Structure 1
């Protein structure tokens, strides 16, 4: 119950925000990861990788599983999975236990209304951030493209 209260409070700041676009300044916001740890995303982040579908989530997880534990941190990157459209029971019974097997943090969006990122179906969305400003938004078709960005 307490977790839901905290999560809803954190996510409420995102509910009325519009999606991040080019030249937008990112404001600090918080999300929880698969271990229920709260992360605050600040302007220090240089790359935000977002997935909206199970297939792209699995592809990114396959890619990151082959990297060192601190790969995302060394690249000033965060990985976000929007799981808001997945049934809650499915998420609790299957998705979260599987995600807890990974050695890196996957920040989770549980509420579709709070999603502040642009989506293109079957694509991986990547935001490039410089000094807290969105400088580029790319929609990737493959992990190979992601690997080029996160060298």
Structure 2
């Protein structure tokens, strides 16, 4: 609870308002690690968001050993904020390495999408959606807990 209060105060000070349960997510389009665009639609049920390399690693650990299409079968997608990554590092090393992942990574290269969700600096933010409306937000700091939640979201 204390973390959410501090996060809320920091966002107010920065002039950022996070989407709240019951609100519709603003539309956006991002490209993935293969430069394939995705536009947010009403079919998405789970949006997983990471602002840091640690969050991305946590998601990768939670998905370890899962077959390709695991997230998509759960109507889930992952968005990574890579705006803080130096462009050359991303272009030459990080994004090519992401092409080996068995899941799609939507890349927020200019921090246009992730900040509106008030994702924590560490961990993975889980946004539970229904027809484009936010139902619930959860934060995972543990790969096993995230994996268990994804298993419960099975189709």
Q: Which TM-score band applies after superposition, normalised by the shorter structure?
A: 0.7 to 0.9
Give me the whole-angstrom Cα distance separating, in 2, the residues matched to 1:65 and 1:52.
20
| Aligned-CA RMSD value | 1.7
**1:1-151 superposed matches below 5 A:** 19-115=18-114, 116-151=116-151
Give me the whole-angstrom Cα distance separating, in 1, the residues matched to 2:123 and 2:102.
24
Do the aligned residues in 2 keep the contact of 1:26 with 1:42 (CA within 8 Å)? no
Do the aligned residues in 1 keep the contact of 2:22 with 2:134 (CA within 8 Å)? yes
Unaligned runs of 5+ in 1: 1-16
Give me the whole-angstrom Cα distance separating, in 2, the residues matched to 1:117 and 1:88.
23
Distance 1:38 1:102, change over 3 A: same
Aligned residues: 135
Give me the whole-angstrom Cα distance separating, in 2, the residues matched to 1:145 and 1:38.
30
* TM-score of the two chains, using structure 1 as the length reference: 0.81
Offset, 1:85: 1.1
- Cα deviation 1:44-103 (Å, max 9, x = unaligned): 111000111112212212332411111111101001111111111111121111101112
Distance 1:114 1:41, change over 3 A: closer
